[in-house]
């Protein structure tokens, strides 16, 4: 059977849709297989974090999400009384966006279809296996089972990933030891405002669902010590939700008409490998954790942003040998760190006298600006920086997020992230040096060379040039102290990241 697709993405949730869009933007033939016939109306995730907003901004689509969501300049860590202050973070998006996952998925599917991605619903992947330089997929659909092939397959198919199990990648970690419940319900007596309540009887969070299809519906998340060891397989009832809230808060708000009730646990696992040959993993297929801080969806989307351009480079034939492996090298530690911080937050869910005292102490620490900023950067993923490759002489920016600053280019006023809309490398010449631009031009089919100036007070004014990856991280930078070797260093960086000239 001939190979029809360059890449098949298994799973049509938000992660799969963003990944497919990134591949299609690079002219890769990509198809999404999704077992659901329609998008789910339920939204476990309700938060889009600052770093995710930045990557959407880098593709010119963040305004679609801003129009639907509600900006909230705060977050939380372990539901402590002191909120995380995102408003002072160094980003153009210093807030979380309160937006239902169903809407996020819908907007990303819209983007994928605009770019020509073929999305097939009602198709379940039963097994994948690499054979003869291709990946064979056994797919169950309305007409029965069939074998299909692709050059690469990416599993974005969730915690119970068929793709991950098929290729024999281990999923080590910890089993569920505590559970909590959530419920989306209508209220006859709604609270005056969203609230978070924690005491010796447990913890309750309550807030109206984001604007959209669920007007008048409230989300309750309940951590009830009396029910903390109930199996995730036991269905949640409205009566359980009502009694838990009433016992902890003192009233049940006259709940009715439940839209969704769910029980979730703190199982924490990270795949041993994010890549095995021609098969890769992203999102919940690669990492699961307790849903604390609203991080899971965001980290999955950031996986897709990291992987998309690298896999496209491999398909299109210009990737240097190590590039696709760098996906695991860069994102696996992020998945491990995600699991660790959510485990810490779970430990702070101790409602004993000592546990509540610890929570009070941690809340007081969060009131200190440096501590609050550090935790805010971690939860929002603005602190993610990738290794510089062991080069002791590398500029301190290498591996970090590129700063999205105002620029004046030959085409007029711009911002750095606006230059990334086409998902290509950007070599930003801030020194007016012809020789820098001549070197970059040798990679002109992969790199946009842009001459620009930055405001004197901008941190970009401190560098002569910067090479920005398609995902907005810095691949190389030079300043006055590195001027003597910058051309040789730039050639080396371009060859390392973009292949031969």
DSSP 400: S
Model confidence at 1: pLDDT above 60: no
Mean pLDDT of 74-88: 95
Model confidence at 483: pLDDT above 70: yes
How far is it, in rounded angstroms, from Cα 165 to Cα 174? 17
Q: Which of 139, 138, 106, 141 is nearest to 17 (CA)?
A: 106
Mean pLDDT of 165-184: 97
Percent of the chain at pLDDT exceeding 90: 92
Give pLDDT tens digits for 351-386: 999 999 999 999 999 999 999 999 999 999 999 999
**Residue 230 pLDDT level (bands cut at 50, 70, 90):** very high
Model confidence at 390: pLDDT above 90: no
The confidence score (pLDDT) of residue 392 equals 59
Q: In a 3-state reduction of DSSP, which class is residue 258?
A: strand
Model confidence at 112: pLDDT above 90: yes
Give pLDDT tens digits for 303-352: 999 999 999 999 999 999 999 999 999 999 999 999 999 999 999 999 99
**Residue 473 pLDDT level (bands cut at 50, 70, 90):** very high
Q: Which of 173, 161, 154 is nearest to 281 (CA)?
A: 154
**What are the DSSP calls for 237-249, one per residue?**
-HHHHHHHHHHHH
The confidence score (pLDDT) of residue 270 equals 98
The confidence score (pLDDT) of residue 213 equals 67
Model confidence at 389: pLDDT above 90: no
Mean pLDDT rounded to a whole number for the chain? 95
**Residue 2 pLDDT level (bands cut at 50, 70, 90):** very low
Q: Across the strands, what pairs with 268?
A: 174
DSSP 401: B
pTM beyond 0.75: yes
CA distances (Å), origin 91, targets 51, 86, 381, 464: 8, 9, 11, 22
Q: Which helix (H) or strand (E) holds 338?
A: helix 325-347
Model confidence at 481: pLDDT above 90: no
How far is it, in rounded angstroms, from Cα 306 to Cα 23? 11
Give pLDDT tens digits for 3-23: 579 999 999 999 999 999 999
Percent of the chain at pLDDT exceeding 70: 99
Model confidence at 252: pLDDT above 50: yes
Domains of the chain: 5-174+268-380 (3.50.50.60), 179-265 (3.30.70.2450), 406-498 (3.40.30.120)
The confidence score (pLDDT) of residue 420 equals 98
Give pLDDT tens digits for 399-445: 999 999 999 999 999 999 999 999 999 999 999 889 999 999 999 99
């Amino acid at each position: 059977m001939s190979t029809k697709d360059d890449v098949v993405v298994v799973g049509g949730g938000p992660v799969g849709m963003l990944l497919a869009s990134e591949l299609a933007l690079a002219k890769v033939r990509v198809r999404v297989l999704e077992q659901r016939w329609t998008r789910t109306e339920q939204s476990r995730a309700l938060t889009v974090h600052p770093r995710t907003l930045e990557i959407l901004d880098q593709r010119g689509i963040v305004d679609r999400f801003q129009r639907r969501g509600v900006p909230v300049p705060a977050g939380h860590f372990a539901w402590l009384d002191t909120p995380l202050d995102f408003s002072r973070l160094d980003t153009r998006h210093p807030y979380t966006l309160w937006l239902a996952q169903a809407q996020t998925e819908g907007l990303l599917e819209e983007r994928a279809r605009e770019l020509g991605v073929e999305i097939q619903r009602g198709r379940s992947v039963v097994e994948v296996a690499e054979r003869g330089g291709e990946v064979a997929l056994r797919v169950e659909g309305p007409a029965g089972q069939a074998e299909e092939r692709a050059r690469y397959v990416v599993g974005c198919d969730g915690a119970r990933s068929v793709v991950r199990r098929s290729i024999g990648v281990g999923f080590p970690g910890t089993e569920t030891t505590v559970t909590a419940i959530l419920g989306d319900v209508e209220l006859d007596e709604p609270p005056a405002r969203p609230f978070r309540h924690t005491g010796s009887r447990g913890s309750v969070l309550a807030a109206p669902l984001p604007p959209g299809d669920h007007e008048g519906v409230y989300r309750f998340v309940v951590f009830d010590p009396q029910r903390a060891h109930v199996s995730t397989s036991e269905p949640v009832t409205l009566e359980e939700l009502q009694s838990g809230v009433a016992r902890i808060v003192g009233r049940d708000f006259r709940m009715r008409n439940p839209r969704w009730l769910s029980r979730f646990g703190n199982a924490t696992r990270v795949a041993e490998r994010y890549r095995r040959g021609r098969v890769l993993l992203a999102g919940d297929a690669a990492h699961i954790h307790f849903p604390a801080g609203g991080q899971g969806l965001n980290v999955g989307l950031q996986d897709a942003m990291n992987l998309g351009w690298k896999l496209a480079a491999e398909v299109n034939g210009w990737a240097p040998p190590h590039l696709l492996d760098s996906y695991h090298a860069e994102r696996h530690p992020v998945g491990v760190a995600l699991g660790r911080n959510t485990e810490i937050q779970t430990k702070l869910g101790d409602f004993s006298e000592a546990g509540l005292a610890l929570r009070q102490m941690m809340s007081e620490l969060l009131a200190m600006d440096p501590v609050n900023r550090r935790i805010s950067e971690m939860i929002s993923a603005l602190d993610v920086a990738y290794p510089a490759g062991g080069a002791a002489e590398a500029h301190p920016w290498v591996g970090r997020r590129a700063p999205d600053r105002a620029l004046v280019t030959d085409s007029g006023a711009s911002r750095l992230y606006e230059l990334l809309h086409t998902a290509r490398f950007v070599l930003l010449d801030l020194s007016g040096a012809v020789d820098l631009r001549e070197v970059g031009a040798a990679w002109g089919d992969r790199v946009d060379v842009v001459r620009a100036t930055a405001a004197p007070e901008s941190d970009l004014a401190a560098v002569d040039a910067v090479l920005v990856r398609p995902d907005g991280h810095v691949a190389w930078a030079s300043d006055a102290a590195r001027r003597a070797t910058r051309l040789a260093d730039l050639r080396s960086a371009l060859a390392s990241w973009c292949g031969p000239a």
